Structure 1
Amino acid sequence: MTWTQAINPLGNPGLSALVDALPIIFLFCALAIWRMKGYIAGLITLSLALVLAIVVHGMPANMAFLTALYGAMVGLFPIGWIVVTAVFLYNLTVKTGQFEIIKDSIASITEDRRLQALLIAFSFGAFLEGAAGFGTPVAITAAMLAGLGFNPLYAAGICLIANTAPVAFGGIGIPIITAGAVTGIDAMAISQMVGRQLPFLSVFVPFWLVFIMAGWRGAMEVMPAILVSGVSFAVAQWFSSNYMTPMLPDILSSLVSIVALVFLLRVWKPKKVWRFADEPQATLKVKKHSAGAVLKAWSPFIVLTVLISDWGLKPVKAVLDTVSIKIVFSGLDQAIIAGGKPMSVVYNFNWLSAGGTAILISAIISAMILRIGPGQFLEVFARTLKDLRFALLTIASVLGFAFVANWSGMTPTLGKAFTVTGSFFPFVAPILGWLGVVITGSDTSSNALFCKMQQITAEQIGVNPVLTVAANSSGGVAGKMISPQSIAVGAAATGLVGREGDLFRFTLAHSIFFALIISMITYLQAYVLTWMIPPLTMASTAAATAKAVSGGTTILMVTGIFIVILGLVASRQRSSLDALNGRRSA
């Protein structure tokens, strides 16, 4: 039995688009107006999409429910798997107290508030966005700045504004991976395009943060630090997103930026230490730690960076994919006719080459380095699963909705409606992503909702869809700072509960300004700087290319040797500390 995808089912493009937009409109209202819990809103949205797919588009019920199941499976693996393991690794460092050493190692570098904003809000915030996401960056960095003596409103506002350029690659690249999952475009191609948009913003954001705090003169006084912070971050972001993997840009860029700024401060200092005129008493006690202790604390994320780098290499992926499991959806495979040809629906359970597995292996190695027992390891993992159970349900329901909308014909119908913008659409594309993040609070959710529509609209107007799909993610980063969830986290972290309106007004103009910057960049890339757009590569093509590459085993062996050496160094540091404590006790 086959079924042909129905586009414009009501015979009127405007009316069909309006009806097909109802689930998205409901989701926006549920989250922004009714403040419904994410997983409940997601499940209802999925239910509405199923009704429209069956009743309006005429999709057979069994195909509609199988499509929802397929989307939910993609949501849980590989996307949810990365979320769980990333947060788990972060929780391990918190549980063992190593994260406090990481925080101290950043906060103790300088007392100048401008430089603290660059190090903590911008660079360290990006690191947290890449390693954990889910509001963690703003919650931790805003609390740190407030504890150091920042005005609470500035502490929260600065961290919200800083948490822009990293968002597209947050949570080990989840937004980019999601965009690839719903469009079929190779995630690496999307990563490359985002990596040719956001670095322009990454160079600008450090200057803008200091300018907001200290004005033009204050920014000029620390211009060397601004340039080193922004340029080093942008270059690493461009390189890692274009030549490594979409899972790595945030972590690598933030570490490069931190190290570059630390080295600069060894040879250069601002003429005077700048502080707020009316800043409150500092409450955060910053401790000094030895270089060995700092290395040990950072070691889980060093291991993570190395393994994620390996997992993103084609030779390594070719080796790891030899044990993948292919599940053919018999009720869907070759049953849906889209674009005049049947769709192949095969679920790829690449359990070993998945990014989440690399993170889990990093967590196991880190547990050995930090001497975490099996009981504590499993306890933290169980608690992480419990804490994320509703987030996983939200991801599964949103991805289920995305696939139902895509395969039933709802998304193509909406895409055709957006062709009325004509050649102006590349300017509009980032604004759609911005709107999606403002409402949902998630670049991942925004990509799941809009990226397929971005792809179809671009194809209709003759623009490379890689550009508009990437623009959805790039534009979305500017919406993060004013989303209700982010505002609530920032207010709670700095004692501004009840003053969320002040924080929203503080960030609103900056959010719109950043979104317009991305829109102008995208428009220029569509028609003037077309050489910046990477070739359109579909995921199936990329996978086939990867299988033809060999040499991954050697890379994994070299990585293993490096990790053993790192583990021995960190263990030696632990032994030295134990011996020192023993002598003190004697």
Structure 2
Amino acid sequence: MNWTQVYDPMQNLALSSLLAAIPIIVIFYLLAIRRSPGQIAGALALVSAVLVAIFVYQMPPGLAITSAAMGALYGIFPIFWIVITAIFIYNLTVETGQFQIVKDSIATITDDRRLQALLIAFGFGAFLEGAAGFGTPVAISAGMLVGLGFNPLYAAGLCLIANTAPVAFGGIGIPIIVAGQVTGLDTMKISAMVGRQLPFLSIIIPIWLVVLMSGWKAAKEVLPACLVAGVSFAGVQWFSSNYIGPELPDILSSLACIVSLTIFLKYWKPANIWRFENEPAPTLVADRAALTLGKVLKAWSPFIILTVMVILWGLKPVVASLNTVTINWIVPGLDKLVTQVAPIAKQPVALAALYKINWLSAAGTALFIASILTAAVLGVGPSRFIAVFAKTFKQLLKPLITIPCVLGLAYVMNYSGMSSTLGLFLAGSGSLFPFFSPFLGWLGVFLTGSDTSANALFGNLQSVTGQQIGVDPILTVAGNSSGGVCGKMISPQSIAVATAATGLVGKEGDLFSFTVKHSLVLAVIVGLITYAQAYWLSWMIP
């Protein structure tokens, strides 16, 4: 049966919003207060979302359950497919002993954990975000930090927070491109506006990371390196987003950061080498002279191959070619049966329910091919290859439950209109809306785990509300994307990926508690920036 979304089922937007927020309250409570395992929190939040959709929003049970199932499918593919292939590559390097050489080669740049975090969590993670996105940077960089000797909780938390700076331009700029598509606004102007907001965060994130790791006193010792990393990243991010487009800011900024920081560290060293408490004293076990170029290249080959494959898979001609074998499955019992209406949609539109099985063009497939090439380079035979993959799959059994649950939660909230109710509630803040505008993006990314999805979900609402209050919609749409980056670190999907990569499965609540305060503070900062640009710094709007 056809069903039209209702955004105020209680005839009181505040009360409707409170009921719509029940699944979010459930997952916040279970993760932050009860410290429940992710699979339990995700499953209970999904059940609560289905119940609210059916009994409050009067969504037909079949539609509610089918939308949850569709979200769960997307949780398995492409999201879990990315997670398992990324961690598989890391496990191959560990099993073959090559990761020890990777660690030693990084030590030739710096033994200091603070600086290693800047290079890998901030720089390399941003590169992977720009090239692939969708969980890849956290899965790879967090696993690398653990391999280097980082405390797993800090490795996961630092990578989630570091991933704030690049998210809006992730996956070759797809979040900004989608924002332009759903709003009809100039994509280049949205790109430029985001590029006049996020660089402020990009400068402070490296300092933020180091203070979080070691405290302010120890952070002051590496402040010059933090500024080199942040300023080089922010400068190129601003320039490329304003004068090139949304596709390359992350890749160019991260390369500028890594190269600048590496060169800087050749001529500058901190007064003290900092490591985590209870770590052994800094020593060089390996003979640096024995680290020949050939050995280092072989050890790094999995990540070099991974990078090449991810970039190749991101090229538009390659994607277009690989997508010719995509299986498009129209989901029965959901496709075109839910109608979205104003003010969320410009005109009534029946929502499509199309499950795309892009088995060849998916980022996880690029990583799997990279794992095959890695095995060939490292001399891993078929039987050992299969054994390591089986070990990786066993390692990720709990995330295989968690990730589909949280994606199912997102889909139920989106198809039922619950997400839109929360968005309309925030949009009712009048002249204060520019401040709350980024919190809509924050909410969208928390629910979906994707800045792209948040822009698709709330982009039009941001545009319409901006026009109604007399603020340039370019600013409010950009605010949605910029605010969304702050929600990435606490999205249940991101938390599940990070815990899987660092061996913290079952500790999702601890990681959520670790990141949530940083997420909220950064979102407030973006809100203040957006508000200032709306009324005092309007000359910054392109």
Where does residue 49 of structure 1 map in the other structure?
49
Q: Could you give the per-residue CA deviations for residues 254-305 of structure 1, whole angstroms, max 9, x where no partner exists?
A: 5653333333344x335x7345799986155442211221112222222222
Instruction: Determine the structure 2 residue equivalent to 1:560.
Output: none
Pair 1:404 & 2:412 matched: yes
Distance change (3 Å), C-alpha of 1:239 and 1:375:
farther
Map of 1:414 onto structure 2: 422
1:452-471 to structure 2, matched below 5 A, reads 454-455=458-459, 457-462=461-466, 463-464=473-474, 466-471=477-482
- Give 2:388's match in structure 1, choosing from 375, 380, 385: 380
The 1-side partners of 2:141 and 2:336 are apart by 44
The structure-2 alpha-carbon separation of the partners of 1:34 and 1:528, relative to structure 1 and needing over 3 Å to count, comes to same
Structure 1 Cα separation of the partners of residues 434 and 373 of structure 2? 45
Equivalence for 1:577:
none
Most deviating of 456-465 and 366-375: 456-465
Name the SS for the 1:48 alignment partner: helix
- Any residues of structure 2 matched to 1:509-548 within 5 Å, and which? 514-524=522-532
Partner Cα separation in structure 2 for residue 448 and residue 399 of structure 1: 14
**Equivalent position of 1:293 in the other structure:** 295
Q: Secondary structure at the match of 1:337?
A: strand
2: distance between equivalents of 1:178 and 1:39? 28
Query: What is the TM-score when the length of structure 1 is the normalising length?
Result: 0.70
* Structure 2 counterpart of 1:323: 325
What's the TM-score once normalised by structure 2's chain length? 0.75
In the other structure, the counterpart of 1:66 is: 66
The count of residues paired between Structure 1 and Structure 2 equals: 503
Residues 145 and 155, structure 2, Cα contact 8 Å, conserved in 1: no
Q: In 2, are the aligned partners of 1:435 and 1:479 still within 8 Å (CA)?
A: no
2:148 is the alignment partner of 1:164: no
TM-superposed CA distance for 1:25, in Å, is 0.9
For 1:2, the equivalent position in structure 2 comes to 2
Counterpart selection for 2:377 from 354, 369, 375: 369
What is the CA deviation profile of residues 351-385 of structure 1, one whole-angstrom value per residue up to 9, with x for unaligned ones? 11111111111111111111211112222222222
Change (3 A) 1:429 1:375: farther
Question: Which residue identity lines up with residue 86 of structure 1 in the other structure?
Answer: A
> Which of 359, 370, 374 in structure 2 is aligned with 1:351?
359
Code of the residue aligned with 2:428 in structure 1: it is V
CA 1:185–1:46: 2 relative to 1, 3 Å: farther
Deviates more, 1:450-459 or 1:328-337: 450-459
Partner of 1:263: 263
**Contact 1:168/1:176 (<8 A) preserved:** no
Q: Kindly state the Cα deviation for residue 473 of structure 1 after the two structures are TM-superposed.
A: 2.9
Amino acid at match of 1:364: I
Shift of 1:42: 1.4
Question: Which 10-residue stretch deviates more, 5-14 or 191-200?
Answer: 191-200
1:108 alignment partner in structure 2: 108
For residues 321 and 217 of structure 1, do their structure 2 counterparts lie closer, same or farther at Cα, with a shift above 3 Å needed? closer
- In the alignment, is the contact (CA less than 8 A) between 1:144 and 1:284 conserved in 2? no
> Quick one: structure 1 residues 276 and 34, their matched pair in 2 at CA, closer, same or farther if it must change by over 3 Å?
closer
2:25 is aligned to 25
Q: Between 5-14 and 459-468, report the one with greater CA deviation.
A: 459-468
Alpha carbons of 1:65 and 1:404: their partners in 2 closer, same or farther (altered >3 Å)?
same
Matched, 1:117 2:114: yes
Contact 1:178 1:447 in 2 (8 A): yes
Query: Kindly tell me: are residues 169 and 278 of structure 1, through their superposed partners in 2, closer, same or farther at Cα, counting changes over 3 Å?
Result: closer
The percentage of aligned residue pairs carrying the same residue is 41
Preserved CA contact (<8 Å) 1:71 1:402: yes
Structure 2 distance, partners of 1:404, 1:107, is 47
Q: Distance in 1 between matches of 2:435 and 2:228?
A: 30
1:98 shift after superposition: 1.8
Q: CA separation in 2, counterparts of 1:216 and 1:396?
A: 42
Maintained 8 Å contact 1:414/1:453: no
Post-superposition shift, 1:28?
A: 1.0
Query: Quick one: distance in 2 between partners of 1:104 and 1:405?
Result: 47
Do 2:172 and 2:314's aligned partners in 1 also have CA atoms closer than 8 Å?
no
Letter in 2 for 1:49: A
- Measured after TM superposition, the shift of residue 415 of structure 1 is 1.6
Matched residues in 2 for 1:393 and 1:533: separation? Answer: 43
Could you say which residue in structure 1 is the equivalent of 2:201?
Answer: 201
Q: Distance in 1 between matches of 2:44 and 2:156?
A: 33
Alpha-carbon distance in structure 2 between the residues aligned to 1:363 and 1:201:
34
Residues 1:473 and 2:484 are matched in the alignment: yes
Counterparts of 1:11 and 1:435 in 2: how far apart (Å)? 23
1:188-239 residue CA offsets vs partner (Å, 9 max, x unmatched): 999987666444323333456678869799959973x444333344456668
Task: Tell me how far apart the structure 1 counterparts of residues 276 and 45 of structure 2 sit (CA, whole Å).
Answer: 48
Structure 1 pair 416–486 and aligned structure 2 pair: CA distance change class (3 A): same
Measured in 2, the distance between the counterparts of 1:400 and 1:179 equals 24
**Distance across 2 between alignment mates of 1:530 and 1:307:** 41
SS class of match (2:161): coil
**2:271 matched to which residue of 1?**
273
Closer/same/farther in 2, CA of residues 368 and 238 from structure 1, 3 Å limit:
farther
8 Å contact 2:86–2:139 — kept in the other structure?
A: no
- What is aligned with 2:311? 309
Following superposition, the deviation at residue 176 of structure 1 comes to 9.0
CA 1:66–1:486 in structure 2 vs 1: closer, same or farther (change >3 Å)? closer
**Would the aligned equivalents of 1:82 and 1:355 in 2 still touch at CA under 8 Å?**
yes
Structure 2 Cα separation of the partners of residues 443 and 412 of structure 1: 12
Q: Structure 1 pair 234/434, CA: closer, same or farther in 2 (3 Å)?
A: same
| 1:572 alignment partner in structure 2 | none
What CA distance in whole angstroms lies between the structure 1 residues aligned with 2:68 and 2:220?
Answer: 51
2:470 corresponding residue in structure 1: none
**Structure-2 separation of matches of 1:334 and 1:128:** 38
- 2:469 aligns with none
Q: Which stretch shifts more, 351-360 or 384-393?
A: 384-393
Amino acid at match of 1:458: Q
Q: CA RMSD in A?
A: 4.8
User: Does the 8 A contact of 1:320 with 1:353 survive in 2?
Assistant: yes
* CA spacing shift, 1:411–1:533, aligned 2, 3 Å: farther
Question: Structure 2: any 5+ residue segments left out of the alignment?
Answer: 129-134, 342-347, 467-472
Q: Could you give the per-residue CA deviations for residues 392-441 of structure 1, whole angstroms, max 9, x where no partner exists?
A: 3222111112111111121222222122322423423545777899xxxx
Residues 141 and 159 in structure 2, CA contact (< 8 A), matched pair in contact too: no
Bigger Cα displacement from structure 2, 289-298 vs 201-210: 201-210
Aligned counterparts of 1:277 and 1:123: Cα–Cα separation in 2: 15
Structure 1 residue 164 displacement after superposition = 2.4
For residue 102 of structure 1, report the CA deviation from its aligned partner: 1.5
Asked whether the equivalents of residues 24 and 45 of structure 2 are also in contact (C-alpha less than 8 Å), the reply is: yes
Unaligned runs of 5+ in 1: 147-151, 535-586
For residues 408 and 256 of structure 2, the distance between their equivalents in structure 1, rounded to whole angstroms, comes to 37
Provide the residue aligned with 1:34 in structure 2.
34
> Taking structure 1 as reference, are residues 297 and 404 closer, same or farther at Cα in structure 2, changes over 3 Å only?
same
Please state how far the C-alpha of 1:327 moved relative to its aligned partner.
0.9
For 1:219 and 1:183, the matched residues in 2 are separated by 41
Distance in 2 of aligned mates of 1:335 and 1:436: 23
Q: 1:101 to 1:520 in 2, by over 3 A?
A: farther
Instruction: Quickly say closer, same or farther: Cα 1:398–1:510, change in 2 above 3 A.
Output: closer
Moved more, 304-313 or 195-204: 195-204
What is the CA deviation profile of residues 65-120 of structure 1, one whole-angstrom value per residue up to 9, with x for unaligned ones? Answer: 22112211222222222222222222222222222211211122246x5xx523x0
Query: Which residue of structure 2 lines up, in the alignment, with residue 551 of structure 1?
Result: none
Does the aligned pair in 1 maintain the 2:4–2:339 contact within 8 Å? yes
1:168–1:206 Cα change, 3 Å: closer
